[in-house]
Structures are given as C-alpha cells and as structure tokens.
Amino acid sequence: MAVENFIVSARKYRPATFESVVGQQHITNTLKNAIRNNQLAQAFLFCGPRGVGKTTCARILAKTINCENLQPNGEACGVCGSCTSFQNGNSFNIHELDAASNNSVDDIRSLIDQVRIPPQAGRYKIYIIDEVHMLSQAAFNAFLKTLEEPPHYAIFILATTEKHKILPTILSRCQIFDFNRIRVEDMANHLASIAKKENIKYEPDGLHIIAQKADGGLRDALSMFDQIVSFSDGNVTYRTVIDNLNILDYDYYFNIIDGLLKEDTAGTLLLFDEILAKGFDGAHFISGLSEHFRNLLVSKDATTLKLLEVSEGIKAKYLQQSQASSVSFLLSAMNIANQCDLSYKLSKNQRLQVELALLKMCHLPSAFNMLIAPAGELTATDGQLKKKPDTSTVSLPAAQKVANDAPPVNAQPVAQNKPQPVAPVKEPVKNGSESVVTEKPKGFIPNLNTASTSIKIPSLKDLGKTTAAEMAEEEDPYIKGDAKEDFTMDAFLKHWSDYAAKLKADGNMTLVTIFTTNAPTMLEPYKFEVVLANRTQENQFRDDKHNLLNFLRVGLRNFDIEVITRIDEVKAAKRPYTNTEKYQHMANKNPQLAELRRRFNLDLD
C-alpha cells in the first residue's frame, strides 16, 4: 500500500481565490475592482511582514488576469485552460523569479530579454519577483527602464518584506499595497475551519494561543498547528499547546495577581519559584506579567474591551479579575513591572530583580488603603494616642509618589531633641483654627541632636505590612512642603559632602570637582552661597541645582534652603576654559596670533 506524501497545511490550504485570502480584504477588494474595470497598473509592489499572503495574492492576481471566463465578482473561474495550466504549474505566461538567489545584473538582463517576447496564448505575461529588496544596486538600475515603460502585455508583481531597502525610483513606478498583520481572531477562525476539514478535535483556547504566538503571520500559525496536531495525536487542546510551544499558562498570571491583591508575599514568591523550576526565564515572566496588567486595564472599560485578543473563556477571567483590581493598583504595578523589565538584563542577580518587583507590588494595596483612610482616625504610636493627619490636604504629586513607591520597612521613629534657641524671635504660626506662637532663633541655627535608633527586621510573613500608626509617625517629607526644621552648619556641610559622594558614585566627576573644591558659606539662615571659578562651572551647577536642592531640603527637612552662586572674577581671568576664552587669553599675550588667524581663515575649533 502506497503511503501518500504529507503536504503541510500552509501549502495544502493556500488560498486559490481572492475570497479565500485571510485578513487582507482591503487589498483583495481593490485588486478585484481593478480587474473588473480593466484598470490594471503596469507594476505592483506587495509589502508586509512574513506569512501574511503577499506571494499568494501575487499568484491569484496573475491567474485572474489571464482567466478566460472571468466571474462577475472579479474572481477567476478555475476551470479554463489558463487557470488549469497555472494550477498545474506549466503556464507559459506566468514567470516567478526569486531575487534572493537571482540578484545580479545578468539575471535582470535575462528577464528583460524574456519580456520582449509577447505571450503565445492569453492577454498578459506576468512576472512575479519575490524578495525584490535583495536585488543589487546595479540590478535595480538595469531594471528601471523596463519597469517604467514595459510592453503593453507585461505586468510586474514585486513582493518584499523590507520596503525601506528598495530604491525610491522603483517605488515611484509601482502601485504599492501594504499588507497588515493578520488579526488573532481571523487566524483562529481559519485554523478552526482547517481543523474541521481534517477531522481534528480542538479547543478554541488552544487555537487562540497558536494565533497569538504566530504574531500576525498565518504561515507561522499553520506550521505550529501541524506540529501540535502531531504532538497531540489529533487533539489540539489548550494544555497541549502551552506544553508544546513552551508558553506560560494564563492561570499562573491570574494566581500571581490574586496573591498581590491579598498581599501574600510568601505565596507570590513561591509561585514565582515554581515558574522558574518549570524552565521559564524571568524576563519572559515579567514581560508576560506586564502584558497581563495591560489586559486587566483594558478590561476595566467596555469601550477598550475589543483590544483584548484572547478567547471568550480567558476574556471572562480577565473581566472577573479586573473588577477586583483598582486602576491605581494596575498602573502602579505595571510601572514597577516595566522598570524591572528594563533593568533585568543589566542586573547581576536577575532573580532578585523580579522578586523585588513582586514585593513592591504586594505592598501597593496597603499603601492605597493608607491614602484613602478616614481623616481624623486615631492611631497608637509610642504608647500615646495621636490624631492621624488629614490626607485630604495631600497634593496630587505627593499622592502619586506614595502610590508608585513601596511602603518603607517598619522602623522605630527617630527621637529628636531640639536644643534651647538663642535670641528667640516670636513668630505666629497657623495651627488649625488657633494661632500659636513659636520661638525661632535669629541669625543662628541651633544644633540638632539625633538619638540612636534600632531597626526592627520583620518576618517574611509580615513584610510590608506597615501599621497605620507607623505610617503616620514616619511622614514623607514631600507631603509637607512647608517643613522648616532647624539644623547646624555642620549638618549642612555633611549633606553637601554626601551629595558629592553620590555624584562620584554616579560617575559625574565634573560636578564632583565643583562640590569638593568650593565650600558653601552661609549668607543668612537657610541661604548659602557657592563661589565658582568661571561661567562654565556656573552652567554645570545650574543644570544640577534642582537635584541638589531636593537632596538638601529632604535630608535636612527644611524647604526654605536656597543655594546661590557667584563667579570669582579673579580666578575666571586666570583660568580660561572655553576655546574662545583660551584664544582671547593667548591673543592678549601675542597680538600676532589674531593676524595669523585672519590670514589663514582659521576657526577656534
């Protein structure tokens, strides 16, 4: 008994008519109308990604043009002599050339010689040139004249995946058709129709996974379909697809989100460990998690639900989980996942990057709960009852900062002992509805003594569960923009040195020189001056000034701190930095230098 040769689905079910082409109706309708109205161009250029039907449409167009019994809808009959000869592969009027292997000038000259011979039967001679971007520069130039003014019976159909590599002179001589990536829904329906014809059992979820993995290319989808049919012995299920194509199951992502919403840090880390144990890469997981957050965000609004390219069963799960997730949580978690994705490849401990991102996401719900807690709620701190600050006064940027950052690790509050002020000056300060008189020093910054403190390291189970009392005690300096605590000059210089060390760690050695060689002086309370050597240093300092002020104000908890600059004219005259300054300095010493520059028309660069 003879064994029938197996034909892959991509060839066996290649479309033979415009109507059977999947996902390119805007192109097939245009071509059918051009054939019916006898408005065919002399040259066509089909562009698009791989496996979307460029060569298939070129062959259908070539067959339909020479059909002897054209149908009213613009399709070929498929039974006439011309259609039959084409389908059997022995048509003398249709020529295919692979430009990837025939890309020289001699190949194009041979093609041009063939073009001069009129067709012996039929109306047109059609030349299909695939991968036309592979032609050499000389071959393109040799092809130009024939492409612009071919014989009336010659039609050229060019196909390429890289339109940007084709000469503009070639593009201007063609009608250009851009093929789209095929939609997941269209691809899944096409695979279902093939499965029915082949009597193959299938699950819609499994076909959707294949369509998503194909990334818009139907040929890739058909190749994977054949592979899974062989693997599953004719039963294409969701489980066999994800096992064969090494795809992470949707259920893992749904379980991860459930753990994040419950703030189950231990369960989330164990689930991630299980994913790694199955051989999945951390980068693959974090990119899939970002896509899952995006799908949940899309599911929140009925108008954007059409952007969700999944099966109906998976879509129902997304809708259910999106109702339990707030938009703020999804946006913040997506931002954390995106930052982890960007830094993953550069990290030496890649697993820690993902675990740290998951821990931050676990803390988000409690952070949001703190923001929306009722104002005036009493909390216990240090054995005393305190009134919780009114969160209604929190500005929008501050609220966004708290939402994006993970809550701090539980720590005992730092006790601050303020010394007695010298030469007090009474100043009224608003406190609620009453006016309270506070005493502040005049012209003197009192010392600030910080008591030693110990940090309590929480267990993994309690990690991130910062109590409301501790959050109230450990206030974010950004929330209160009117903070105005006293500090000593020594404390200021210490923070100044710390910022210089931070710049050195970042590799910004130019600014490090400015900060280490120019010590600031105090002009008046909270206002300091830095003397710089020249204008270049002033520009560099100005560019980084906002970062410096943020560092100093937050570290010293005083938002009245201001730093100004002054240029030392004596130093500036002695130390030229720019090319213009160097030239002027040398020209003052030797006036003949200006004459030399004028004679030879020299530039300062």
- Express each pLDDT in 312-354 by its tens digit: 888 888 888 888 888 889 999 999 999 999 988 888 898 999 9
CA-nearest of 311, 312, 313, 318 to 294 is: 318
Name the CATH topology of 184-244.
Helicase, Ruva Protein; domain 3 (1.10.8)
Q: What is the pLDDT of residue 577?
A: 61
Q: What are phi and psi of 121, to 5 degrees?
A: -145, 140
d(CA 273, CA 134): 47
Q: Who wins on pLDDT, 438 or 85? A: 85
Tens of pLDDT, residue by residue over 431-461, are 444 444 444 444 444 444 444 444 455 554 4
d(CA 31, CA 177): 10
Q: Is the pLDDT of residue 290 over 90?
A: yes
Q: Is the pLDDT of residue 585 over 90?
A: no
* For range 51-62, the mean pLDDT: 89
Residue-wise DSSP of 277-341: HTT--HHHHHHHHHHHHHHHHHHTSGGGGGG--S-HHHHHHHHHHHHHS-HHHHHHHHHHHHHHH
Half-sphere exposure for 167 (CA within 13 Å, toward CB): 15
What is the sign, positive or negative, of the torsion defined by CA atoms of 212, 335, 371, 472? positive
d(CA 103, CA 463): 65
Which position has the token pair 């149908």?
A: 71
d(CA 59, CA 53): 10
Q: Who wins on pLDDT, 258 or 433? A: 258
Tens of pLDDT, residue by residue over 343-399, are 888 888 989 999 999 999 998 887 766 665 544 444 433 334 344 444 444 444 444
CA-nearest of 172, 160, 154 to 40 is: 154
The token pair that represents 64 in the structure block: 């339909």
Reported as a pLDDT band with limits 50, 70 and 90, residue 124 is confident
Contact 549, 496 (CB under 8 A): no
Q: Is the pLDDT of residue 267 over 50?
A: yes
Helix axes 137-148, 105-115, angle to 10 degrees: 20
Mark 295-309 as b/e (b = at least 16 C-beta within 10 Å): bbbbbbeeeeeeebb
d(CA 41, CA 44): 7
Distances (CA, A) of 134 to 164, 258, 334, 588, 600: 12, 51, 41, 62, 49
Q: Where are the domains of the chain?
A: 9-178, 184-244
- The pTM assigned to this predicted structure is 0.55
Answer CATH for 9-178 from 3.40.50.300, 2.60.40.420, 3.30.365.10, 3.40.640.10: 3.40.50.300
Distances (CA, A) of 534 to 574, 576, 605: 10, 8, 20
CA-nearest of 474, 477, 473, 479 to 380 is: 473
